[in-house]
Each structure stands twice: as C-alpha cells, then as structure tokens.
Amino acid sequence: MPALPTATATSIGSLPLGDLLAWTAIAAFVVAMVLEWRELVDPARYLAAGAWVVFGVFWLTMVPHYYLEVKSPIQTLLTLAALPLSVYAGYLLVQGRESLLVLSNAVAFMGLIYLPAETVPLVRTWLIETTAAQTHFGMELFGYSPGIVEGSNGYMSKFAFDPNETVTGRTTYIVMSCTGIGSMAIFGGLIAAVDAPLKRKVTPFLLSIGVIWFLNLVRNVFIGLASPWGWFQQDVFVYVVTELMGAPADRTSYLVAHNFIAQALSIVALLGITYLVVRLLPEVFDPLEEVLYILTGTEYDLADALGTEGPGDSTAAASAARSKTGDD
C-alpha cells in the first residue's frame, strides 16, 4: 500500500490543500474513535463516514502528483481508486456496518503517526537526512562512496556522484517517501487499532518496523546505484520510458528501478510482513477483512483461509488447556 505524498501546491491561506484535507480527515477519524470509546457508536459511524469522504478527496488531489511528477502507474491507479472506495466505506458506515470502525480507527492511528513526521520540520529533516546517511553507508558496503550534499529539496540528502564518471550523469536524493515512514504508519495503525493486550502488540510492531526499515534501506541503495550507473538502460526499457511515459532517456534506469521493480517488490514485501504480523497478532485480521469487504462486497474469514488461529481461537485454546490441568 503507497506512503502519503507531499501535499500539492494548491493552498488555502498558508496551508497547502493536501495538508488541510489530510489533517481534516485524520482529525475526524480521531474524534470518531473517541466517540466509539465512549460508546456513542451511531455518532461515531456518521463522523467516520464523513472522514472517509474527505480522505478520498485528499487522495484524488494527489493524482496529478503521481501521474505527472512521479510518473508511477501503480500509485496513479491506487490514488484514482481511493475516492470511490473511500466513499463506499462511508456509505457502508452510514448503512450501519459498525465493524468498519476498527478500520477507521486504524486510519486515525496511521495519520497520527505519519502527519507529524510529514509536517513538523524538525522531525521531517531528521528522518530524511538520517535515511540518506544510512543509504550512503549501504552504498559504501558495495564500494561506492559519492558523499552527500544538499539536494533540491533543501536537505542534506543528495548523493554526489560525479556526472562525468557515471553512465547516465544523473543521481538521486532522499525524500520523505524514501524513509519508509508511510509503511511503518500503516502497520503501526493496524496494530494500535485492534483490541488486544499491549504486551501482545509489542513484538509484531517491532518486527514490522524493523523489517520495513531494512528492506527500505535495501530499496534506497538499489535505486541510488541503478540510476547513475545505468543498470536498466537497455533499448526496450528506454523505449517504454521515452515513448510511453514521455520521460528523458537518461531517467530510464531510475524509473525502471523505482517505479516498476521496487514498487512491485514493495507490494510483495508488505504482503509478507502482513502475514508475519497476523501470525503474531490475529486481531489484525479484523481490519484486513473490512478492507476486503470494501473491495469485493464479500465477507471473508482470513484466519480460516490461511489456516491460522483467529482472534478468539488462542483464548479458547488457552481456556481449554486450563480446564484440563485444573489451572484457573
């Protein structure tokens, strides 16, 4: 699933439109979550429904960014699909599907993790520049040491390869979406939202964050070396990038590495991490089943489909074991 992008240039007052929509949606999700905790379920449903609509509009405003700037087919399609899916989620809530509140709560927690990192300058700077330093260290392990200079985004995050020595003459720099915070926020939100003891949430949380951090570092090193050294400048790739995507030929290796290989493998990695998390915390099946219901209109029992214990199975098994041994 993609990280939240930097807001679009359109602004209302001094606040970018993307930031305004994102903060509005997350604030509404948080208030709905509080209402549910106070057992005001109906108001929570209606407020969460409105939050989903705003959330969908936010993603719609990101379509030009992904299509024109990032040139990512996968992310463009996902952002286009976000509005109708979000509106449908809101519709289901209005129609009385209370179980969707757990997914709404997960989005609230995701936003509380991600938005401060995106919008607080001190946190944003630390994340970007720390990721750049770690990526540079990874490059050094493979014998490359370009150094780090200030990038066009104003952070010390650009890898200073000499354009006269590389194949494409290009280089890369770290931006917010390269830090992995978006994926971390997704799993942090899912784990935080479900009803389970805190001690059972710690291990899957640390595992997911650690795996995301490592794989994200590998991804950054891969893209950071593929772009300047022209690992994918073969004619077939150049044709696709120049003729079908309208990008310059020297961006071919970057776009193939970033937009196709890395993003496709990221989906596989997220599915793998999800499997590990639900093995440790089966309660996460609940919001995932809600996602599938939104997508297909069909109820699923993922625990049964994957042959794992559901949220209530471990409790029942433990109770049965105690009854056999006399432990209470």
Residues tagged active-site: 178, 219
C-alpha distances in Å from residue 112, one per residue of 7, 34, 37:
16, 14, 17
All residues at 6 or more sequence positions from 295 whose CB lies less than 8 Å from its CB, including other chains: 85
Quick one: which of 47, 46, 72 has its CA closest to 260? Answer: 72
| Cα(154)–Cα(65) distance, integer angstroms | 19
Quick one: which of 135, 170, 58, 265 has its CA closest to 127? Answer: 135
Reading phi first (left if > 0) and then psi (alpha if -120 to 50, else beta), residue 284 is in alpha
Structure-token pair, residue 106: 């997960």
| Cα(91)–Cα(87) distance, integer angstroms | 6
C-alpha distances in Å from residue 163, one per residue of 159, 169, 227, 228, 249:
11, 4, 11, 8, 15
Residue 159 belongs to what H/E stretch? strand 156-159
| Cα(50)–Cα(43) distance, integer angstroms | 11
Torsions phi, psi of 156, nearest 5?
-75, 80
Q: Which DSSP string do the residues of 85-112 spell out, in sequence order? A: HHHHHHHHHHTT-GGGHHHHHHHHHHHH
Answer yes or no: are the C-beta atoms of 103 and 287 closer than 8 Å: yes
| Cα(30)–Cα(35) distance, integer angstroms | 9
